[in-house]
A and B are shown apart, each in its own frame.
Chain A
Amino acid sequence: MSYGTVFDIKEFSIYDGDGMRATVFLKGCPLRCKWCHNPEGFDINPEVMVKVANCLHCGKCRTTSCAVLSNSKCIGCGDCVNLCPQNLRSISGKKYSDTELIELLNGYEIFFNNDGGITFSGGEPLLQYEFLSDVLDGVKGKSMIETSAYAKSDVFKKIVNKLSKVYIDFKVFDSNKHIFYTGVDNAIIKTNLRLLQDLGKPFIVRIPLINDVNDDFDNLLNTAKFVKGGNLVGVELLPYNTLAPAKYPMYGKVFTENFSKPEKILTNVFTDNGIPVKVL
């Protein structure tokens, strides 16, 4: 029996894989990409989310007996959720046992047919790899994953073997730049990508494309040359989401960066190297 924390289950996810599909977002991530639009994925623990824009500042949420009042950190107990007259508060992050989550997800089995299934995303789903592994063992349909591949190689390999397809992020080729923008070195990611190629598992490389960060010819060319090989299905480019900052205030976080969409998307770098490419 293992336990994990999930911050969302999105039914009928359109861009997360084949067939009729639901995406499970596992909470917690070792990376801190400066452009991330899912700040609720950072921390592994449940936390309170507040739609602050409509807050009346009435103070009702402060009438709980929880720890926040004594100035300690919010533990996501949820006592304050129903107090808000505007119903602006909710808890992001729910604990499941592996069996609970499997039962819930297998409720979607009637939709799966030949292609459908569950995609595990995050956060970084491999952060809760024991839980993920147990859930994968019981879940029906074609399972997929969306990962940064920032995990130990034995863990990575063990999980990949249970999947039908892998979406792997490859954010920046240059390791110093990678450290600067995501907080971690990409050496392990590169190793795991090679491993993925060797395993022969179908995979799609996803690149969040940000103006003046990674949309230049050199980065994309290095990336194209590096990812080509094994059972690469193609590359998907995700131009920067200008709504990225939207969720930060809801989690009491501040988005300080000033990114923008790429002015020009150099898809030909990939096609010239024989790699199918899509812009999402």
Chain B
Amino acid sequence: MTERMSRLRNYIVDHKHFALRQSQDVFNNIDISTYRDKNLSHAMRVAKRFELFLSKEVPVFLPEERIAFTRTLPALPPVLSEEEFDSIRATGKYIHEKGFVTNIAPDYQKIMSKGLYALIDEVKTRLSNAKKQDKEFYEIELITLNAIVDFALRYKEEALKQGYLDIYQDLCVVPFYAPKTFKQALQFLRIIHFCIWVEGEYHVILGRFDQMMYPYLKKDLDNGVLTNETALEVLEDFFISCNKDTDLYPGLQQGDNGQSIMLGGYDENGIDTYNLLSELCIKASYELKVIDPKINLRVNKTTPKERLLFASKLTTIGLGFPQYSNDDIVIPGLIKLGYDKADAHNYCVAACWEFIIPGVGMETVNISAMSYVICANNAINKYGESCKNIDELTSAVEQEVKEYTKVLLDEVYDIYLVPAPFMSLMFDGCIEEAKDISLGNKYNNYGQHGFGLGNAVDSISCFNHFVNETKEISAKDYLDVLQKDFAGNDEFRNKLVNYTEKFGNGIDNIDAIASRLLKAHSDACLAYKNSRNGICRAGTGSANCYVVSSTRNDYTASADGRKKCDFLPANYTPSITIKTKGPLSVVKSLTKPDLSNNINGGPATFEFTASSVNSDTGVEKLALLVENFIKLGGHQLQLNVINKSELIKAQQNPEAYRNLIVRVWGWSGYFVELDKCYQDQVILRADYSL
């Protein structure tokens, strides 16, 4: 890393740029009725709010930065009031999270390849030829695009005035015209990204960054404009820019902002698309050690060993990057769900793990979460006394999974989303058909994650063993013990906890239970159709559900020895408190099910202590683990390196640990900025690391 970059990095990490932000007062006297006007369409409201926001933004520059655009204002109030959202709900529509378009991957090239001036001309032409009912769509686009032009022009002037000539020169080209250099392309991307957040969408995915940007880089390298070293530096400028405004982005915790990039991948002809830029991205992340962008790497069984070694080196520094996805499983899985072959090969990852296709999907991949534990508890409560063996118990839980999945999905049948005019410009057919992305696109599927699988499998295994095999306890008494949350039954609970026939120990007949439950979930999801004719994709992620489970009353004690409100594991992992035989057995268990059926994503997760892997040998072993996981048919893999004693010290003395980064669920964040319940879960996980 150059010294300039190091200074810029520290400037951001120390939040010094917060001083450049405008006072909240700017918004205090603002008249939001200009965009909250009931007579305006929702799309027009969004455009008016966007225009208003950008008119109040002030161009600022960070010392020595070379890629500009920094937020100085927090978001304006939403375009719809709570009452308006409620009245939409009252019509039977489902409002997901904040109501805005979220967690989709735009095709940035649809704007970048043209430049705003050409795009405005195109919209004007379409407007003049449009049918009456489509005219407003194009008028809204013009308001939006002109607002960006005005804002960018102000940035350009200010850059000249403040002597940021390098930035000024780039802003003479972008965003008005198509970029001519790699650096201009990055600046353009930064502007687009900035504007999407301002429009109100969140979890804004960066997508297949290396594929999108490599042609610009290659041209510069060929022309001698850049060398590998200077290209790395300018890339790092861009990476840094992704970290400037993250505290202003909506998310459950800071860092949960969806700025993921996907590197590499195999195309339809089996050609490896990993390129020099892919490699530079991994290197930049290694040098900068910041939480954005989140690095994902596509691999398959032919991925060269050197690449896995290079990526594993990034793993050892503890950012939780890269996360791997296996093309051998993901692509066929997507094709099975009905994705076109070309689209399936072009997948990237949503905010955390969900496999989505840039520019063609209005999918809500985290529509809801299905708890296997609740299903197992219900099934055992209802049918435990009559089930005589593992097969009958598993069938009972399968049935619960199917019913529960349907109940959850029926609640979200018809989704309403706030229009997203700017975002729409980057999706298939929107501009041609005058159709806002919020109304749907080529793919309109939902995704539902299933979590707590290990605890459900273990519950079946334990219940069967102690009731039907050893007959040590009657089903009725067992249920009674659970009802009392094991009070006065420590010895029995120990037996459950110490029983080893569990998911994660590589035991065929136990892992088969997991396969059946996963299939039950994916079957139930596939049987579903939403109002846009989309299906649901079953997944293996957990998001924050593992923490939520500790606060909800319906998470009663389970038959595997888990007490009420105990944490569940994050994502696709064995139960958090079982002592597995080790990572090899866990890999064996996790790769047995056909994961191409549960392709909404959600990674197998392994935690390592820093001291065990911080060496060349450690890196080599991590690479081998990845290689084997892929070879055996795993779909997605997350490797975390944590240091428990450091985490505890950071909890006690946060000021001294501002830089400490941990993987939380599908994203990484600064440990000291997390709520305590998330900190505690990370520390608990550390107990079970290698």
Contact = CB atoms under 8 A, between A and B. Distances in A.
Interface of A: 9-12, 14-15, 19-20, 22, 60, 81-85, 87, 90, 107-108, 110-111, 116, 280
A84 B612 contact: no
Contacts of B493: 87
A258 B679 CA distance: 36
Nearest to B616: A278
B494 A87 contact: yes
Given A107-B506, A110-B588, A11 B494 contact: no
B584 A12 contact: yes
A11 B583 contact: yes
A15 B617 contact: yes
B306 interface: no
B498 A12 contact: no
B481 interface: no
Contacts of B83: none
A82 B494 contact: yes
Contacts of B628: 20, 110-111
A85 B491 CA distance: 7
A82 B491 contact: yes
Nearest to A108: B584
B606 to A, nearest CB: 9
Contact of B498 (A19, A20, A82): A82
Given A9-B582, A107-B506, 13 more contacts: A11-B582, A12-B582, A12-B625, A12-B690, A14-B612, A14-B618, A20-B628, A22-B582, A60-B490, A83-B491, A84-B490, A110-B588, A280-B615
A12 B583 contact: yes
A87 B497 CA distance: 9
Contact of B581 (A11, A82, A87, A111): A11
Interface string B619-639: 001001100100010000000
Contacts of A19: 624
Contacts of B491: 60, 82-83, 85
Closest A-B pairs by Cβ, 4 of them: A11-B582, A85-B490, A11-B584, A12-B583
Interface of B: 490-491, 493-495, 497-498, 506, 581-585, 587-588, 612-613, 615, 617-618, 621, 624-625, 628, 632, 690
A14 B613 contact: yes
B624 A87 contact: no
* Best-buried of A10, A11, A60, A116 by chain B (most CB within 10 Å): A11
Nearest to A12: B583
Contacts of A20: 584, 621, 624-625, 628
Contact of A110 (B582, B612, B621, B632): B632
Nearest to B580: A11
Contacts of B495: 82
A83 B491 CA distance: 5
A23 to B, nearest CB: 10
Contacts of A85: 490-491, 494
B42 to A, nearest CB: 53
Contact of A84 (B494, B581, B618): B494
Contacts of A83: 491, 494
B648 to A, nearest CB: 15
Nearest to B581: A11
27 contacts: A9-B582, A12-B582, A12-B583, A14-B621, A19-B624, A20-B628, A22-B582, A22-B584, A60-B491, A82-B495, A82-B498, A84-B490, A84-B494, A85-B490, A85-B494, A87-B493, A87-B494, A87-B497, A87-B498, A90-B498, A107-B506, A107-B588, A108-B584, A110-B632, A111-B584, A111-B587, A116-B624
Nearest to B591: A110
A22 B498 CA distance: 22
Nearest to A112: B628
B260 to A, nearest CB: 28
A60 B491 CA distance: 10
A12 B588 CA distance: 12
A107 B581 CA distance: 12
Contacts of A107: 506, 588
Contacts of A81: 494, 498
Nearest to B582: A11
Nearest to A84: B494
Contacts of B621: 12, 14, 20
Nearest to B495: A82
Nearest to B618: A14
Nearest to A21: B621
A11 B608 CA distance: 13
Nearest to B586: A11
A19 B617 CA distance: 10
A6 to B, nearest CB: 12
A82 B493 CA distance: 8
B571 to A, nearest CB: 19
A14 B491 CA distance: 36
Contacts of B494: 81-85, 87
Contacts of B588: 107, 110
A103 to B, nearest CB: 13
B618 A10 contact: no
A90 B618 CA distance: 30
Nearest to B584: A11
Nearest to A20: B624
A254 to B, nearest CB: 25
Contacts of A82: 491, 494-495, 498
Nearest to B561: A87
A172 B612 CA distance: 26
B367 to A, nearest CB: 36
Contacts of A84: 490, 494
A11 B606 CA distance: 13
A160 B632 CA distance: 33
Given A84-B494, A110-B632, A11 B585 contact: yes
A20 B491 CA distance: 37
Nearest to B625: A12
A91 to B, nearest CB: 10
Nearest to A17: B617
A126 B615 CA distance: 30
Contact of A10 (B490, B582, B613, B615): B582
Contacts of B618: 14
B504 to A, nearest CB: 11
A83 to B, nearest CB: 6
A12 B607 CA distance: 13
Nearest to B624: A20
Nearest to A107: B506
B113 to A, nearest CB: 45
A14 B498 CA distance: 26
A210 B613 CA distance: 23
Contacts of A22: 582, 584
Nearest to B491: A82
A207 to B, nearest CB: 17
A82 B506 CA distance: 24
* Best-buried of A12, A110, A280 by chain B (most CB within 10 Å): A12
A22 B506 CA distance: 14
Contacts of B612: 14
Contacts of B613: 14
A280 B490 CA distance: 41
Nearest to B619: A14
Nearest to B613: A14
A108 B506 CA distance: 10
A15 B584 CA distance: 16
Nearest to B488: A85
Contacts of B581: 9, 11
A135 B506 CA distance: 21
Contacts of A11: 581-585
A108 B586 CA distance: 11
Contacts of A12: 582-584, 621, 625, 690
B505 to A, nearest CB: 10
* Best-buried of A19, A22, A82, A280 by chain B (most CB within 10 Å): A82
A228 B615 CA distance: 25
A57 to B, nearest CB: 15
A69 B484 CA distance: 32
Nearest to B507: A107
